């Protein structure tokens, strides 16, 4: 595949699309699929055929449009978005192409939820058909790869990524350019590129949406990375719980191979790169890079001490680059538009945009991509619409089991890596769960500790035993049988786990406890001293799980 | 047999003449019959047979020349693998954060009241298995439940009971 051939494919596809007078895009990402959007798509196709409009109207399955709670979502070439479209509504949708928008189904798009977004990672989501490589190419796909291969040296590619200021979107925020440069300098018989798509944080679904909606963007990012660091083999480690993402990735890899965009001597360059999928099997710890590597090697997902870092000694002992899905998804636009362009977006230390999965007690649940530095209030209230039904905002949880709960006092804080760390949470992969007065913060802390205790791999003692004990104490607090001494021991254990655990899982497991203790200590006290749960949650449903 | 690495070893015979073992063979062959293919091979077994029993673990371990203890270790380490056959129907309640705060426990509690099962258990008649998931990534639809591979969103205990009743009436 040469750049000219790529242009040709793009042009042909664009012409073909221009041939249609109307277009109906139906979301076929997991959120909408679980409200029967595939049936809606078929019904619309049928109705189009019935009216003999087949030659004029294209019905396309596209990726996530963001507002998952209002699915199934359908957009048309008339520029309108319809929500909660049922199979029976298909004729009305098709009719509206000629007769004008149907107010009954209309979803307002001139609201902050859509308007305040800045889409880089999600630019193709909801626009292109994720199962057709031609559609991605027509949207400018793989031109960044061609630019890298044809115009830039490997060092220049790394230079651009460094200039962009992009930091790892998996949560820790390590500078991507620096990581790439370390791997490129490492010496090994062969090198690997791994895409971490083991989105294990409960409450996070950004990566799933990107993989389902725009899988080629991730492949293109991996290809550019492979060129930059000199890797020849790649793996995408994806959760087995995401069957649709797996299916679309398999299709994408097959198409890219057929088009000569994966394989040997890509675009007549020296780059040869092969990608294979590896399915995770439900172990949160595998999000940790050394555990993930161990899992790809067919073993238990046990982490090991670093150094050596995977950049030096990774998969099968060779230098390995591991980045998250969203990190790779940022690469093609950076190479296309230059690192400086990307560095203009965001805050001083956190560049670019971040995708957040907004869920919990919030009116508009779904995916939003915003520039770094917007405030929590903008995300939760302006875009998310705040808690529904007049409920009272209590906290927003970021970073999953490794993160913390942020109270209302910090709603006006700009969101970036440093600020979130300052208030005791982390950026994490981008899950954002809003909680209201009906959530008990001790119960939330217990929920996460239960998670960590069950996900601890058992290799190191502080994590294996510590999470168990912390959970036991939290359980006693929610049972309202704990004493002040128990609370003191809980705090001691927080310290112990943080400082002595082997990997990130154990080191960050106390975060939910620490942050709730910091901001909601009165709730702990109420459980211990007055033996009541202020939110009225504890004790009610205990039996259900453990009884 | 673990000590011999270089010699051509005889192929491990299939545990039964079930044709599904060929699928497992295909996966192992695709990954060069190497030890690193263990997890992928187990995925294929579970996909084909629904669960991993000792026979299957023994077959995969022997074919890939890993000790049975390691295959068992891997199979029990990862939550996705199950060593017990599931019921006729499965009901997976998502226990992700969003689902949790939107009442996933009430769904589990309804299952316990109606069928007497807790997560990981199957009803005595083998009809329904109750499982929980870490997070399905369908947080926008919380609380979410997967009924036999079909995801349903914003599930209420009443809706769950409806589905259970449907499953039960189908058979009896």
Alpha carbon of B85: minimum distance to chain A alpha carbons (Å): 17
Helix (H, G, I), strand (E, B) or coil at A509: coil
Is A399 at the interface with chain B, CB within 8 A? no
Distance CA B155, CA B133 (A): 15
| Residues of chain A neighbouring B51 (CB-CB closer than 8 A) | none
Q: What is the pLDDT of residues A198-256, one digit of tens each?
A: 998 888 899 999 999 999 999 999 999 999 999 999 999 999 989 999 999 999 999 99
CB-based contacts of A3, cutoff 8 Å, min separation 6: A143, A146, A150, A267
What ipTM was assigned to the predicted interfaces of this complex?
A: 0.91
Which residues on adjacent β-strands are paired with residue A499?
Answer: none
Distances in Å between the Cα of B133 and the Cα atoms of A200, A237, B90, B93, B95 are 11, 19, 12, 6, 6
Q: Is the pLDDT of residue B122 over 60?
A: yes
Q: Give start and end residues of each alpha helix (H) in A172-298.
A: 176-185, 206-213, 215-229, 243-258, 289-296
Q: Is the pLDDT of residue B7 over 50?
A: yes
Contact B98 A365 (CB under 8 A): yes
Is A516 at the interface with chain B, CB within 8 A? no
| Residues of chain A neighbouring B34 (CB-CB closer than 8 A) | 298
Considering only the beta carbons, identify the residue of B77, B105, B134 that sits closest to A541.
B105
* Closest chain A residue by Cα to residue B132: A545
Give percent helix, percent strand, percent coil of chain B, each to the nearest 5.
50, 10, 40
Q: Which of B135, B136, B143, B151 to mutate to test the interface with A (most CBs of A within 10 A)?
A: B135
Element spanning A59, H or E = strand A57-62
The residue whose two tokens read 């040997």 is A264
| Residues of chain A neighbouring B115 (CB-CB closer than 8 A) | none
Q: Could you tell me how many CB contacts below 8 A there are between chain A and chain B?
A: 157
CA distance from start to end of chain A: 61
CB-based contacts of A275, cutoff 8 Å, min separation 6: A219, A222, A233, A234, A235, A236, A253, A256, A262
pLDDT at A430: 92
Considering only the beta carbons, identify the residue of B37, B78, B109 that sits closest to A282.
B78
Is A431 at the interface with chain B, CB within 8 A? yes
Is B98 at the interface with chain A, CB within 8 A? yes
Mean pLDDT of B83-92: 91
Q: What is the pLDDT along chain A (547 residues), one digit of tens a residue?
A: 899 999 999 999 999 999 999 999 999 998 899 889 999 999 999 999 999 999 999 999 999 999 988 989 999 998 899 999 999 999 999 999 999 999 999 999 999 999 999 999 999 999 999 999 999 999 999 999 999 999 999 999 999 999 999 999 988 899 999 999 999 999 999 999 999 999 988 888 999 999 999 999 999 999 999 999 999 999 999 999 899 999 999 999 999 999 999 999 999 999 999 999 999 998 999 999 999 999 999 999 999 999 999 999 999 999 999 999 999 999 999 999 999 999 999 999 999 999 999 999 999 999 999 999 999 999 999 999 999 989 999 999 999 999 999 999 999 999 999 999 999 999 988 999 999 999 999 999 999 999 999 999 999 999 999 999 999 999 999 999 999 999 999 999 999 999 999 999 999 999 999 999 999 999 999 999 999 999 999 876 554 455 4
Distance CA B95, CA A358 (A): 17
Considering only the beta carbons, identify the residue of B109, B118, B142 that sits closest to A359.
B142
| CATH code assigned to A19-109 | 3.40.30.10
Q: Which of B52, B76, B137, B153 to mutate to test the interface with A (most CBs of A within 10 A)?
A: B137
Contact A457 B112 (CB under 8 A): no
Do the Cβ atoms of B91 and B129 come closer than 8 Å? yes
Q: What is the pLDDT of residues A281-327, one digit of tens each?
A: 989 999 999 999 999 999 999 999 999 999 999 999 999 999 999 99
Helix (H, G, I), strand (E, B) or coil at B28: helix
pLDDT at A171: 83
Is A433 at the interface with chain B, CB within 8 A? yes
- Whole-model pTM: value is 0.94
Q: Residue B13 is encoded by which pair of tokens? A: 């015979």
Give the CATH superfamily of B89-171.
Glutaredoxin (3.40.30.10)
Alpha carbon of A173: minimum distance to chain B alpha carbons (Å): 22
Q: Residue A264 is encoded by which pair of tokens? A: 């040997």
Contact A544 B38 (CB under 8 A): no
Burial degree of A484 (CB within 10 A; 0-12, 13-18, 19+):
exposed
Q: How would you write A121-155 as a 3-class SS string?
A: CCCCCCCCCCCCHHHHHHCCCCHHHHHHHHHCCHH
pLDDT at A246: 96
Contact B79 A69 (CB under 8 A): no
The residue whose two tokens read 């010699």 is B7
Is B69 at the interface with chain A, CB within 8 A? no
The residue whose two tokens read 């949470």 is A425
Q: Which of B77, B106, B154 to mutate to test the interface with A (most CBs of A within 10 A)?
A: B77
Q: Is the pLDDT of residue B4 over 60?
A: no
In this structure, which topology does domain A140-343 adopt according to CATH?
Rossmann fold (3.40.50)
DSSP code at position B93: E
Which residues on adjacent β-strands are paired with residue A62?
Answer: A27
pLDDT at A116: 95
* Closest chain A residue by Cα to residue B109: A544
Annotated domain spans of chain A: 19-109, 140-343, 353-436, 441-546
| Residues of chain B neighbouring A541 (CB-CB closer than 8 A) | 105-106, 109
Alpha carbon of B161: minimum distance to chain A alpha carbons (Å): 16
Q: Residue B11 is encoded by which pair of tokens? A: 């192929």
In this structure, which topology does domain A353-436 adopt according to CATH?
Ubiquitin-like (UB roll) (3.10.20)
Do the Cβ atoms of A323 and A173 come closer than 8 Å? no
* Closest chain A residue by Cα to residue B64: A298
Distances in Å between the Cα of B88 and the Cα atoms of B47, B117, B164, B171 are 15, 14, 12, 10
| Residues of chain B neighbouring A31 (CB-CB closer than 8 A) | 138, 140-141, 153
* Closest chain B residue by Cα to residue A315: B36
Does A441-546 match A353-436 at the fold level? no
Contact B141 A299 (CB under 8 A): no
Considering only the beta carbons, identify the residue of B79, B102, B109 that sits closest to A282.
B79
Contact B112 A543 (CB under 8 A): yes
Distance CA A180, CA A176 (A): 6
Q: Is the pLDDT of residue B1 over 50?
A: no
Q: What angle do CA A389, A88, B107 make, to 5 degrees?
A: 45
| CATH code assigned to A441-546 | 1.20.1440.230
Contact A35 B141 (CB under 8 A): yes
């Amino acid at each position: 595949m040469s750049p000219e051939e790529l242009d040709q494919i793009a042009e042909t596809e664009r012409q073909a699309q221009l041939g249609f007078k109307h277009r109906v895009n139906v979301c076929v990402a997991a959120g909408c699929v679980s409200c029967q959007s595939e049936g809606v798509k078929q019904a619309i196709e049928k109705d189009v055929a019935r009216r003999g409009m087949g030659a004029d109207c294209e019905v396309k399955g596209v990726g996530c449009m963001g507002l998952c709670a209002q699915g199934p979502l359908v957009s048309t070439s008339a520029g309108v978005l319809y929500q909660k479209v049922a199979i029976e509504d298909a004729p009305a949708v098709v009719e509206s192409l000629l007769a004008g928008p149907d107010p009954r189904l209309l979803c307002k798009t001139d609201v902050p939820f859509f308007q305040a977004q800045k889409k880089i990672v999600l630019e193709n989501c909801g626009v292109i058909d994720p199962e057709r490589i031609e559609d991605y190419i027509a949207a400018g796909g793989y031109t960044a790869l061609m630019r890298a291969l044809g115009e830039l040296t490997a060092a220049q590619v790394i230079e651009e990524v460094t200039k962009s200021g992009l930091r790892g979107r998996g949560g820790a925020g390590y500078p991507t350019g620096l990581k790439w440069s370390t791997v490129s300098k490492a010496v090994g018989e062969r090198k690997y590129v791994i895409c971490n798509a083991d989105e294990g944080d409960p409450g996070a679904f950004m990566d799933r949406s990107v993989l389902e909606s725009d899988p080629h963007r991730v492949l293109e990012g991996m290809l550019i990375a492979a060129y930059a660091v000199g890797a020849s083999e790649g793996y995408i480690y994806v959760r087995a719980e995401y069957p649709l993402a797996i299916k679309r990735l398999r299709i994408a890899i097959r198409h890219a191979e057929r088009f000569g965009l994966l394989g040997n001597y890509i675009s007549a360059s020296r780059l040869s790169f092969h990608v294979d999928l590896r399915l995770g099997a439900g172990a949160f710890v595998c999000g940790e890079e050394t555990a993930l590597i161990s899992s790809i090697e067919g073993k238990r997902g046990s982490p090991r001490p670093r150094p050596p870092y995977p950049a030096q000694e990774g998969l099968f002992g060779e230098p390995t680059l591991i980045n998250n899905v969203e990190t790779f998804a940022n690469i093609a636009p950076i190479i296309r538009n230059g690192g400086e362009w990307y560095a203009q977006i965001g805050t001083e230390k956190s560049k670019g945009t971040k995708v957040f999965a907004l869920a919990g007690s919030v009116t508009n649940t779904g995916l939003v991509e915003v520039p770094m530095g917007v405030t929590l209030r903008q995300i939760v209230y302006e875009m998310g619409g705040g808690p529904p039904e007049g409920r009272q905002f209590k906290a927003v949880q970021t970073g999953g089991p490794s993160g913390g709960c942020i109270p209302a006092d910090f709603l006006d804080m700009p969101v970036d890596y440093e600020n979130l760390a300052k208030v005791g949470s982390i950026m994490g992969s981008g899950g954002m769960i809003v909680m209201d007065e009906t959530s008990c913060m001790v119960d939330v802390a217990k929920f996460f500790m239960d998670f960590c205790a069950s996900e601890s791999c058992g290799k190191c003692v502080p994590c294996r035993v510590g999470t168990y004990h912390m959970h036991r104490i939290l359980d006693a607090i929610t049972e309202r049988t704990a004493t002040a001494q128990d609370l003191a021991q809980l705090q001691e254990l927080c310290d112990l786990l943080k400082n002595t655990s082997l990997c990130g899982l154990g080191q960050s497991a106390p975060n939910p406890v620490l942050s709730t203790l910091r901001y909601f200590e009165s709730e702990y006290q109420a459980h211990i001293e007055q033996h009541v749960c202020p939110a009225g949650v504890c004790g009610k449903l205990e039996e259900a799980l453990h009884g | 047999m673990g000590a011999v690495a270089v010699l051509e070893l005889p192929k491990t015979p299939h545990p039964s003449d079930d044709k599904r073992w060929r699928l497992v063979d295909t996966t192992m062959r695709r990954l060069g019959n190497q030890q690193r293919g263990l997890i992928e091979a187990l995925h294929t077994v579970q996909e084909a047979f629904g669960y991993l029993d000792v026979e299957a673990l023994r077959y995969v371990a022997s074919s890939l020349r890993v000790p049975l203890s390691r295959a068992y270790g891997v199979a029990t380490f990862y939550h996705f693998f199950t060593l017990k056959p599931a019921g006729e129907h499965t009901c997976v309640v998502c226990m992700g954060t969003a689902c949790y705060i939107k009442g996933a426990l009430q769904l589990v509690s309804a299952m316990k009241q109606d069928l007497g099962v807790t997560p990981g258990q199957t009803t005595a008649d083998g009809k329904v298995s109750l499982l929980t998931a870490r997070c399905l990534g369908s947080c926008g639809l919380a609380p979410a439940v997967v009924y036999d591979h079909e995801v349903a969103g914003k599930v209420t205990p009443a809706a769950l009971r409806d589905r259970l009743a449907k499953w039960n009436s189908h058979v009896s």
